[in-house]
A = this chain, B = another copy of it.
Amino acid sequence: MAEEKKLVEQITSMDEDFAQWYTDVCIKANLISYSQIKGFMVIKPDGYAIWENIQRHLDDRFKATGVQNVYMPMLIPESLLKKEGELVQGFAPEVAWVTAGGTEPLTERLCVRPTSETVFSDFYKDDVQSYRDLPRLYNQWCSVVRWEKETRPFLRSREFLWQEGHTIHATKEEAEERTQQMLDVYADFLREDMAIPTIKGRKTDKEKFAGAEATYTVEALMHDGRALQSATSHFFGQKFAEAYDIKFTDKDNKLKYVWQTSWGLTTRVIGAMIMVHGDNSGLVLPPRIAPTQVIIVPIMQKKEGVLEKAAELKERLSKSFRVKVDDTDKTPGFKFAEAEMRGIPVRIEIGPKDIEKNQAVIVRRDTREKQFVSLDELEAKLAETLEKMQADMLERAEKRIEELTTEAKTFDEFKEKASQKNGFIKAMWCGDLECEEKVKAEAGYTSRCIPFKQEKISDVCPFCGKPAKQLVYWGNAY
């Protein structure tokens, strides 16, 4: 049993060093590998398969709301990027510049897209003439580059994969509705498919997207109590329309500017998934997203009929689930540890005695609960187990948010709670930037969002004593 112990020992305990545990899981579960360039990672088959499942689920949800996919150029001329002042200020310090094409220097430098509002706006300008052409509901799946200083796999990388939706509308109301609708799509997807509950709300002006009138966010809470912004949806008003001259003739025959939104979710959510569900044995994948849902481990596989039975089961179960057999020559113990590291939701053990009794053992990854199941009812039991596991994972994550969310009525109380352990702190706010900066400087917390579900905890802002305007979720964010 030394071998499998070694595999598990390869990862640091999360209680000892959470950051190291996270990196260990990324590497040992075969999700990524570092490349020669800082902040650029290789997403390996096991990591990419998770992303493919995320894409499929989310893309279906987008298309169900009428969204169409497109592809925009990855390079953006500097002059085009600069047309909208706030956006360029926000992104200029972190874009990569292309200055030569082949052997010749370019007359104008081009940036590798950090986000594509500018390119979509430039496109929409000629794409839309009349109210009949609206709305345009476009999305693209692509990679973007932002030259971050500190980098960590999935959480903050210089290149990452994402989707960016960009829509334009005839009316303010419709654009605002779409901004909310896509935030709901994200929240539902995270909750139903990834088993990640989130707090929905609006970003403060300090934390909103460069160039947006309003940014909405879904904020998740990791195992270590730190917060993670999991997706955002932006309402731009007519800012880009004015800067890029996107006009249409309305029903009343008047020329008007369009109303715009954008919304995005990145490979970052894989990091969230690891940190919400993982444990000291490695990854735990939500069954709906897991590339392999069931792994069959033959026991005493050299005995006659065992490998054949495993192959037969795989064939049979593949009609209903994503199934693999581990028929390598490793020991069963090693295979168990490896399957746990990879987060496969359910493993099936089947050996000569099981075959004799027409049964198998099924083991849940999260609780390690074992069940002896008749082969005749294997499909039903697996479906039930996977569904239960998905629901339990969500419930545990919800419970964690509950446990790690506290309230503070005074700044002293706030600082004390923030210093004890991480988690959300709910506290009122006057709405002033100075208070946000004070919280950051003295407690290390940032405003995560102004939640849609408002409560009144105190009458005054605990940071300045002025009348409170709204409740804010504060957190120590990734």
Contact = CB atoms under 8 A, between A and B. Distances in A.
A367 interface: no
A37 interface: yes
A112 B143 CA distance: 12
A303 to B, nearest CB: 23
B102 A159 contact: no
Contacts of A93: 102-103
Given A70-B44, A96-B100, A37 B142 contact: no
A141 to B, nearest CB: 9
Contacts of A112: 74, 98, 112
Interface residues of A, number: 51
A126 B73 contact: no
B43 A70 contact: yes
Contacts of A51: 71
A132 to B, nearest CB: 8
Contact of A99 (B48, B80, B99, B102): B99
A235 B69 CA distance: 35
A354 to B, nearest CB: 28
Interface string A65-77: 0001111111101
Interface string A413-430: 000000000000000000
Contacts of A36: 77, 80, 122
A390 to B, nearest CB: 24
For this chain, the copies found in one complex come to 2
Contact of A49 (B69, B72, B99, B143): B69
B99 A70 contact: no
A48 B35 contact: no
Contacts of A158: 101
A126 B72 CA distance: 34
Contacts of A35: 72-73, 119, 122-123
A68 B97 contact: no
Interface string A102-137: 110000001010000001001100110000000000
A166 to B, nearest CB: 12
A138 interface: yes
Q: Report which residue of A40, A94, A98 has the largest number of chain B beta carbons within 10 angstroms of its beta carbon.
A: A98
Contacts of A373: none
A52 B33 CA distance: 28
Closest 5 CB pairs of A and B: A40-B73, A45-B68, A101-B147, A43-B71, A102-B147
Interface of A: 33, 35-37, 40-45, 48-49, 51-52, 68-75, 77, 80, 92-103, 110, 112, 119, 122-123, 126-127, 138, 142-143, 145, 147, 158-159, 161
Given A35-B73, A48-B68, 20 more contacts: A33-B127, A36-B77, A40-B74, A42-B72, A43-B70, A45-B138, A48-B69, A51-B71, A74-B143, A75-B159, A92-B102, A94-B101, A95-B101, A96-B98, A96-B110, A97-B98, A97-B99, A97-B101, A98-B99, A102-B147
29 contacts: A35-B72, A35-B122, A35-B123, A36-B77, A36-B122, A37-B110, A40-B75, A41-B73, A42-B123, A43-B71, A45-B68, A45-B138, A48-B69, A48-B70, A48-B71, A52-B69, A71-B143, A74-B143, A74-B145, A75-B96, A75-B145, A92-B102, A93-B103, A94-B101, A95-B102, A96-B110, A97-B99, A97-B100, A98-B98
